[in-house]
């Protein structure tokens, strides 16, 4: 079953002038979102991308399989030495991400400006 999840990659610059890869997700994130979530992350050149920004502002729902994909992506980023900031989560998913330990791998911010400033 194909995923309705969309992922776009944008190049941004942090306040300190470093290149940032922004992954912008749209739609629900579930087990069928593997290509959108992991595929978009894994397409980033690990040698040159040190800072990653995750944008969930257009995501309405994330099920447990989707959270597992996000955790897998964040563990890969951590193992690659990348710093990750996250923003755009609803209040509910901010709590869920905190409860499942995602904050060990990525700080969560209310908006893009704050998340980008932390990178």
Residue 57 belongs to some domain of the structure: yes
Residue 103 belongs to some domain of the structure: yes
Residue 28 belongs to some domain of the structure: yes
| Rounded mean pLDDT for each run of 10 residues along the chain, 119 residues in total | 82 90 97 96 92 97 97 96 96 96 96 93
pLDDT of residue 97: 97
Write the CATH number for 54.
Answer: 3.30.750.24
Residue 83 belongs to some domain of the structure: yes
Tell me how far apart the alpha carbons of residues 115 and 38 are, in angstroms, rounded to a whole number.
21
pTM for this prediction: 0.94
Residue 1 belongs to some domain of the structure: no
pLDDT of residue 48: 87
**Residue 112 belongs to domain spanning:** 6-117
pLDDT of residue 15: 83
Q: 119 Cβ partners below 8 Å, 6+ apart?
A: 14, 16, 18, 20, 51, 53, 83, 85
- Structural domains in the chain (count): 1
Residue 97 belongs to some domain of the structure: yes
pLDDT of residue 1: 47
């Amino acid at each position: 079953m194909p995923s309705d999840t969309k992922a776009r990659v944008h190049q941004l610059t942090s306040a300190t002038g470093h290149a940032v890869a922004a992954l912008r997700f749209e739609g629900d994130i579930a087990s069928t979102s593997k290509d959108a979530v992991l595929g978009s992350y894994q397409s980033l050149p690990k040698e040159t991308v040190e800072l990653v920004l995750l944008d969930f502002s257009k995501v309405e729902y994330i099920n447990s399989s989707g959270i597992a994909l996000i955790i897998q992506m964040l563990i890969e980023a951590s193992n690659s030495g990348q710093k990750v900031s996250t923003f755009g989560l609803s209040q509910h998913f901010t709590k869920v991400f905190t409860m499942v330990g995602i904050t060990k791998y990525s700080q969560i911010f209310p908006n893009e400006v704050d998340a980008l400033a932390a990178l």
